[in-house]
Copies of this chain bind each other. A is one copy, B any other.
Amino acid sequence: MTSERPLSPDGLPEPDGADVLADLAQLLAPQFVMADPDRMAAYRHDWSKGAGAGTPLAVVRPGTVEEVQAVVRWAAQRRIGIVPRGAGSGLSGGSLAVDGAITLSLDRMTRVEIDPAMRVAVVEPGALNITVKQAARELGLHYPPDPSSYEICSIGGNLATNAGGLCCVKYGVTTDYVLGLDVVLPDGTLVKLGGSTIKDVAGLSLLKLFVGSEGTLGVIVGGTLRLIPAPSPAATLVATFPSVAAAANAVVALGNRLRPSLVEFMDNYSINAVEDVREMGLDRDAAALLLVQCDSPGDARAAEVLVVEEICQVAGASEVFSTTDPDEGEMFLAARRSSLPALECKGSMLLEDVGVPVPRLPALLARIEEISLRHGLPIPVVAHAGDGNTHPNVIYDPAEPGALERAEAAFADVMAAAIELGGTITGEHGVGRLKKAALPAQLGPDVMDLSRRIKAAIDPLGIMNPGAVL
C-alpha cells in the first residue's frame, strides 16, 4: 500500500480502479467504499448550478476519525485528490466530484453531544445543523447560525464554508461560535485546534484559518461549538415598499439605530415566485418587502418594533404589519426561506451571493436592476439585507440559444459590481469551484499569492479539494 504509482503526464499518479477498491476496502468496511457509477451518482453533485461534476475514482464513507485518517494517508501516499463532502447542499460547487479523486463523504459521522455545563455542542461533521439546534434547544440553549438550508445542511459544511444565515445580523456567523476543531491534515495527522475555552490566544489562530477553508486545507472531523442561552421570542414585522430603493434605504437606517435579530429583503419577482408556489398572503404589488425581527427581552422588544415601524414609514413603506405571535412570524420566515426553491420553478438559475458594506446596499441593488435590463434576464433578489449580503438570482431559459452565456455574463457583472462597491463575491456560500475564476479580481495578486503559500505549507501535495477556491 505504500508503493509509488506510475505518474500521468501531468505528474499525478495514474489511478487503477481495481487496485483502489481493494486498497480502500482494507481501510473501511467494503459497503462504505463505492466505485460503481450508479451508487456514486448521489455523491457527485451539490446544489450549485453551472459547474460540472467529475467522476470520482471512488466514494468513501468513513465512520470514524481513524478511518478518515487512514483514507487521507492512503491518498497522500498516492497523490490522489480528496474532496470532502457533508450533506451536499453547497451552492458553490465546493464538494463537486473531481475526476480521479476520492470523494470523502462524512455523512455517517453524525454524533451530537450537548454539554450543558460547558455550554458547548460537541459535533461530528455529518450532523445536520437542525440536529445541533434541536439538541441544544432541549437543554434551554441555542446554536445561532441558521443558513436557509439549516434543515438539510451539515454542520461540517457550515464549518468548511463559515456559513451564515438569517440571524447573523445580530448573532454573527459560524466562525463566531467555533471554540474547537478536530482536523485531519493532508498527511493524515489529526490535530486538535482550540478547545472549549472561550478566550484563548495561545499561538496563531489556526482554528479561524480552517473555518471557511472549504476543504482545501484538511478534513474537519469534529467541532466544539459555543452555545448561548436561548434568546427571548422574537416579534416579527413585515413592511412593503413602493420601490427597491425605499426598502434599501430603510435597511441602512435600521442599522444606524438598533440591532434587530433579522433583516431580510425580497423583491417583487421573488414575492410573486413564492406566492405562485403557495399563497401566503404576501402583497404581490409591492416592489420590495422587508422582514424584520426583534428579540430583545422584556419591554425593549416592543420599543424596538416601534423604532422599526417608524424607520420603515419614514423610508416610505406602503404598509407595515407587526406580530408577536411566534407561529405567524415563523410563517413569514418560511416564505422567505422558500424563495430560492420558488425561484427555481421560474427557469434555470444562477444563484449569486454577493455582499457589500450595508450603506452601499442601495447602490448594489440599483446596479443589479441595470444589469438585469442590459442582459434582458430577470435577476430577482432576496437578501440578508441587514448584513449587506444579497442573493441575486439570474434566471434564464436553457432552451433559448445564447441564454446561458448571457446569464453567465450577468452573473459575472453582478460580482464585478460588488467588488467595485468594496464588497465580496461571496458572503456565505463560499468560492468553491463556481466562483474560483472571480476570486483574484476581489483579492488581488498579492493576497492570492499569500493564500497559495499558506495552502502549499499545509497541503504541499495539493491533494485537498483539488481545483476548489485557489
Contact = CB atoms under 8 A, between A and B. Distances in A.
A200 B355 contact: yes
Contacts of A198: 168, 355, 357-358, 387-389
A206 interface: yes
A427 B201 CA distance: 5
Contact of A119 (B161, B199, B358, B453): B358
Contacts of A206: 209, 447, 450-451, 454
A197 interface: yes
Interface stretch (A28-36, A99-107, A250-258, A398-406): A250-258
A91 to B, nearest CB: 12
A279 to B, nearest CB: 32
A238 interface: no
A196 B298 contact: no
Contact of A208 (B209, B355, B457): B209
A297 interface: yes
A204 to B, nearest CB: 5
Interface residues of A, number: 90
Contacts of A456: 457
Interface string A280-324: 000000000000000011111001100000000000000000000
A146 to B, nearest CB: 13
Interface stretch (A124-132, A338-346, A438-446): A438-446
Interface stretch (A186-194, A239-247, A269-277, A325-333): A186-194
Given A199-B164, A201-B430, A457-B453, A209 B212 contact: no
Interface stretch (A8-16, A40-48, A79-87, A418-426): A418-426
Nearest to A92: B201
Contacts of A173: 199
A203 B355 contact: no
A235 interface: no
B205 A423 contact: no
B203 A439 contact: yes
Interface in A147-176: 161-162, 164, 168, 172-173, 175-176
A365 interface: no
B257 A229 contact: yes
A117 B422 CA distance: 14
Given A119-B256, A299-B300, A201 B426 contact: yes
Contacts of A384: 199
A208 B356 CA distance: 19
A211 B205 contact: yes
Given A296-B298, A427-B197, A454-B454, A228 B259 contact: yes
Contact of A205 (B120, B209, B424): B209
A427 B297 contact: no
A469 interface: yes
B191 A450 contact: yes
Nearest to A117: B359
A431 interface: yes
B199 A204 contact: no
Interface string A440-470: 0011101110110111111000000000011
Contact of A451 (B204, B229, B259, B450): B204
Contact of A427 (B189, B199, B444): B199
Contacts of A447: 191-193, 203, 206
A347 interface: no
Contact of A229 (B175, B176, B258): B258
A198 to B, nearest CB: 5
B202 A442 contact: yes
Contact of A454 (B161, B204, B300, B426): B204
A422 B118 CA distance: 11
A429 interface: yes
A150 B204 CA distance: 23
Given A191-B446, A454-B457, A454-B458, A387 B199 contact: yes
Contacts of A209: 204-206, 208-209, 454
9 contacts: A118-B359, A173-B199, A191-B444, A197-B422, A201-B426, A201-B427, A202-B443, A203-B439, A203-B470
Given A206-B450, A229-B258, 6 more contacts: A119-B255, A199-B427, A206-B454, A208-B209, A229-B259, A298-B298
